[in-house]
A and B are shown apart, each in its own frame.
Chain A
């Protein structure tokens, strides 16, 4: 019997001819990523376990991207950045994207591909659950904790249980009112927040392969919201063109064997899917934008690793152009590259920045995770009261964006922008 892509990548990194779902194996790691929230803890364990003079296993394979608590006056948060800086200096690490310098990037999952650290066929671990985003590049990528990350820092290896793969096939290109966010919210509604626990989620079919690389990232980004270990999309010409434009490092793409065994296969027609929302307080609490139409909103939020990429803002701008927002609207670019894109990308003669400003939206002064996960109380866009918010982010757990009494609806940038304009949840087809 053949192997799935995920089995094949893990087998190759364990130096074995094959690996099957359920095997526990040690794999060699291509990239370890950490950030300001989990980096300090990881470094602490690394020093304790390997000694004060220990060196990381491979300087070229460690990537440190501060992104969570950047634009805050919280002194503990600032100290954590200092700890990263000291470690980078001590270990002489080349891939550090420091705050307050030209190298600063912002949200790690968007920064990784922009800087060429995501490559087909590789194994990437990161101390953040949304590390699964990088599966969009045809690689195995998943989130881990500080202890596992410290183990990798010292040894370059980690044990993994090879996951079974659930396959999701989408037939037909996306209708003009849908985005990848609608597809993944639809799937999570079908299988539940623990529907893919311990498993890989593989996305394929012409509907998926017709998506841009940014939209593929949105699909893989939210597999963790179904409990998935990793999300993965086979690499194709779109993937290779993107990756080769960012790095000259060689890579070897992998594909499913024709006789690979899957846990399950689900097939969808994209034309059957509606603009979808996740209602409070769970990503699997699915409704359509039509069903939720009229729910009053205090706030709209467009940002994060899920919904803060340039294509997400282009989508929002299509709807916000020439309009005035009725709900307070916050715009947070994921990375500095996306932020530059807002100023330079034109839509009918206006930059995205101009469109957002004229619509009355509030633009963040910097790229970061910001209010997606609440953060320190002075975080831009944080929900500090019982606000009702519609957001392009990934989680609507109680208190996720700040206050436990706030309510968060998750939706695509189209739906969020349409709802911002009317002040109530609105199907984007009313504008498109």
Chain B
């Protein structure tokens, strides 16, 4: 995936400390990531470990992926602090990508998850300059402008700031560590 400048999609809102066991529970880590059919199961079970009452805030009890499907109706996740904590399983950001997520906007990230999202080129991990999870509702229409560093809630009309991607911008722009290494001549094209 190379970087899209403007990302539009519906919000799925989660709380603080969403760990990788909630993003993809360990019993599902056995499916093949290279088989095009089998890998869809990661989309089916993405976020299935989130306790129901906090799945899709503020109301909760909103399944991220409809039963029997592997694609979510939501394209952007809004999270709180320390998103993606816990395990180094790359299945976590990849499961979100398979479910159709193109960006996550969180207050802060656990570093391995963040790094995996960047180096694997699964989606753009944006950091918000303020807490968003009480302000944005699951189902709101969002518009993210990466170069302007803004997130607009089209439903409510409010706009928010995003932190610059900083050190990882070049890798995100290239679409992952392999693409970046080829672009910079470290690997043969």
Residues of A that sit less than 8 Å from B by CB: 24, 37-38, 40-41, 44, 48-49, 68-69, 74, 76-77, 79-80, 127-129, 131, 142-148, 151, 154-155, 159, 161, 193-194, 197-198, 224, 227, 229, 282, 373-377, 395, 397-400, 404
Per-position 1/0 for B43-78, Cβ under 8 A of A = 000000111000000000000000000000000000
Decide if B115 touches A399 in the complex (CB within 8 Å).
no
* A90, chain B: closest CB distance, angstroms: 16
Closest A residue to B117 by beta carbon equals: A145
Q: Does B86 sit at the interface, judged by CB under 8 A? A: yes
The contact of A375 among B17, B27, B89, B187, by CB within 8 Å, is: B27
Chain A residues near B87: list those with CB within 8 A: 128-129, 373
Cβ-neighbour of A127 out of B27, B88, B115 (below 8 A): B88
Which of A127, A148, A198 has its CB near the most chain B CB atoms (within 10 A)?
A148
Residues on B with beta carbons closer than 8 Å to the beta carbon of A282? 17
Task: Tell me the complex Cα distance, A159–B115, Å.
Answer: 11
Nearest chain B CB to A413's CB is how many angstroms away? 22
B177 and A151 contact, CB distance less than 8 A: yes
The yes or no answer to B21 lying at the interface (CB within 8 A) is: yes
Contact A147 B26 (CB under 8 A): no
Given the interface contacts A145-B119, A147-B177, A151-B177, does A37 sit within 8 Å of B89 by beta carbon? yes
Assuming the A-B contacts A129-B88, A197-B82, are A37 and B22 also in contact, with contact meaning beta carbons closer than 8 angstroms in the complex? no
In the assembled complex, the CB of B109 is this many whole angstroms from the nearest CB of chain A, namely 8
Give the bracket for the number of chain B residues in contact with chain A: 35 or more
Q: For residue A58, give the distance in angstroms from its CB to the closest CB of chain B.
A: 17
> B81-101: contact bitstring with A at CB < 8 Å (1 yes, 0 no)?
110011111110100000000
Q: How far is the CB of B36 from chain A (nearest CB, A)?
A: 12
Asked if A161 and B110 make an inter-chain contact with CB atoms under 8 angstroms apart, the answer reads: no
A154 partner residues in chain B, CB cutoff 8 A: 187
Residues of B within 8 A of A146 (CB): 33, 90, 116, 120
Pairs A-B, 3 closest by C-beta atoms: A145-B90, A76-B30, A145-B116
Contact (Cβ within 8 A) B112 A129: yes
A20 to B: closest C-beta gap in Å: 14
Check A147–B19 contact: CB distance below 8 A.
Answer: no
Assembled-state Cα–Cα distance A48/B176 (Å): 14
DSSP majority for the B interface? loop
Interchain CB contact under 8 A, B181 and A399: no
B82: chain A residues at CB < 8 Å are 193-194, 197, 227
- Asked if B21 and A145 sit within 8 Å, CB to CB, the answer is no
The residue from B17, B81, B177 contacting A148, defined by CB atoms under 8 A apart: B177
- In the complex the two chains form, is B21's CB within 8 Å of A400's CB? yes
Given A194-B82, A373-B21: A145 and B88 interface contact (C-beta under 8 Å): yes
Among B1-27, those with CB < 8 Å from A are 17, 19, 21-22, 25-27
The answer to whether B187 and A148 touch across the interface, beta carbons within 8 angstroms, is: no
> In angstroms, how far is the closest chain A Cβ from the Cβ of B100?
20
| Inter-chain contact A41/B27, CB cutoff 8 Å | no
Residue B138 CB within 8 A of the other chain: no
B167 is an interface residue with CB less than 8 A from chain A = yes
Residues of B with C-beta under 8 A to A80: 30
Q: Bound complex: CA of A146 vs CA of B39, how far in Å?
A: 15
Q: Which of B111, B119, B178 contacts A197 (CB 8 A)?
A: B111
B187 touches A155 (CB 8 A): yes
Could you tell me if A404 and B49 are in contact, using CB atoms closer than 8 angstroms? yes
